[in-house]
């Protein structure tokens, strides 16, 4: 990894060249032991590792360079969901401040790891701000959306808007069922291309719904039963080519009917158990 235009993301759908992942390790295997982590049932670590390897294999088959976080960085189980602790902009790493207490040390650990590989720090979120990556989405390369949520507060959203610059919209996410079943922005929208997005309408902010209409973005609507199985959490590898969690046939058919190329992977244990899908399990390092 080097600096310049070999790092940076100002899109959720431009061709994905480099991505960072963290395979599940012992901390992930113990996640259910502490209710604060929010896992649904005891972890089958072997199965989680197989599923994660399947995601990596699919990414590589689609031409993405996969960078694996060193095994010695073994912190809390949520580190497997590497999307949340930071952003990568053209200027470099932007460490965030997760609102989930057990994730507080993750941004610095990832920042250090990436700095050591030639990606500089390009800004950071300071107290009292909190931001999680799951509350951020690029709708266009010049239009960034931040969700105020139970993990991303107003101070954090405003700081991040200043760091990103340009056209940034801040929308409010619902309380829904509270911290135990958190609604991230990426829980309810996944761009597929500049003109297509997967959405879960019941939890989509009204202002964002209006904005999608103004932009002429077509919507693939996820049914309620598939929201619970990560149907709205879709990773675009390039415009119109996506990775989805297996077990969401209605969403998959709707994507294919809209012209998308769909690749499904099993993520029940590594993703569904901790409520993180294909986007959560990957931190794009370079799109363009």
Asked whether the predicted pLDDT for residue 119 surpasses 70, the reply is yes
pLDDT at position 147 is 98
Mean pLDDT, range 232-237, rounded to an integer:
98
Domain ranges of the chain: 16-287
On the question of pLDDT at 145 being above 60, the answer is yes
Q: At residue 6, does pLDDT exceed 70?
A: no
The token pair that represents 31 in the structure block: 């996640």
**What is the bridge-based pairing of β-strands 92-95 and 136-140?**
unpaired
**Residue 68, φ and ψ in degrees, nearest 5:** -105, 125
Question: Average pLDDT for residues 48-68, to the nearest whole number?
Answer: 98
Question: What average pLDDT score do residues 220-235 get?
Answer: 96
> What confidence category does residue 140 fall into, taking pLDDT thresholds of 50, 70 and 90?
very high
What CATH class is the domain 16-287? alpha beta
Q: What are the residues whose beta carbons fall under 8 Å from the beta carbon of 218, sequence distance 6 or more?
A: 195, 196, 197, 258
The pLDDT, as a whole number, for residue 3 is: 40
pLDDT over threshold 80, residue 7:
no
The pairing of strands 136-140 and 143-148 is antiparallel
Read off the tokens for 264. 């499904």
Residue of higher predicted confidence among 226 and 178: 226
Taking alpha carbons only, the member of 262, 191, 203, 257 closest to residue 227 is 203
Report the 10 Å Cβ neighbour count for 44: 15
Q: What is the pLDDT of residues 15-25, one digit of tens each?
A: 999 999 999 99
Identify the CA nearest to 131 among candidates 123, 139, 119: 123
Q: How do strand 16-21 and strand 65-68 relate by DSSP bridges?
A: parallel
Alpha-carbon span 217 to 205, nearest angstrom: 15
pLDDT at 180 over 80: no
pLDDT per residue over 271-287, tens digit each? 999 999 999 999 999 99
Token pair in block for residue 236? 């675009």
Sign of CA dihedral 120, 122, 128, 130: negative
Calculate the alpha carbon distances from 238 to 121, 215, 234, 273, 282 in Å. 26, 20, 12, 27, 14
Residues 67 and 54: their CA atoms lie apart, in Å, by 15
């Amino acid at each position: 990894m080097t600096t310049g235009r070999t790092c940076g993301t100002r899109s959720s759908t431009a061709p994905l060249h480099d991505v960072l992942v963290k395979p599940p390790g012992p901390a992930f295997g113990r996640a259910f032991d502490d209710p604060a982590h929010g896992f649904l049932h005891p972890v089958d670590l072997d199965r989680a590792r197989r599923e994660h390897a399947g995601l990596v294999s699919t990414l590589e088959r689609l031409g993405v360079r996969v960078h694996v976080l060193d095994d010695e960085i073994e912190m809390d189980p949520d580190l497997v969901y590497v999307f949340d602790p930071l952003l990568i902009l053209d200027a470099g790493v932007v460490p965030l401040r997760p609102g989930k207490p057990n994730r507080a040390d993750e941004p610095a650990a990832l920042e250090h790891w990436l700095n050591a590989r030639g990606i500089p720090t390009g800004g950071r979120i300071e107290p009292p701000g909190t931001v999680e990556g799951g509350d951020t989405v690029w709708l266009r390369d010049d239009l960034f959306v931040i969700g105020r949520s139970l993990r991303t507060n107003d101070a954090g959203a405003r700081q991040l808007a200043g760091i990103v610059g340009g056209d940034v919209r801040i929308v409010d996410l619902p309380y829904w069922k509270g911290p135990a079943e958190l609604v991230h922005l990426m829980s309810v929208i996944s761009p597929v291309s500049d003109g297509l997005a997967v959405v879960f309408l019941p939890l989509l902010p009204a202002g964002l719904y209006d904005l999608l209409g103004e932009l002429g973005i077509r919507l693939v609507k996820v049914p309620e039963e598939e929201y619970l199985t990560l149907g709205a959490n879709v990773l675009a590898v390039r415009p119109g080519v996506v990775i989805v969690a297996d077990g969401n046939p209605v969403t998959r058919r709707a994507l294919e009917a809209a012209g998308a190329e769909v690749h499904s992977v099993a993520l029940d244990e590594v993703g569904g158990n901790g409520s993180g899908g294909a986007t959560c399990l990957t931190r794009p390092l370079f799109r363009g």
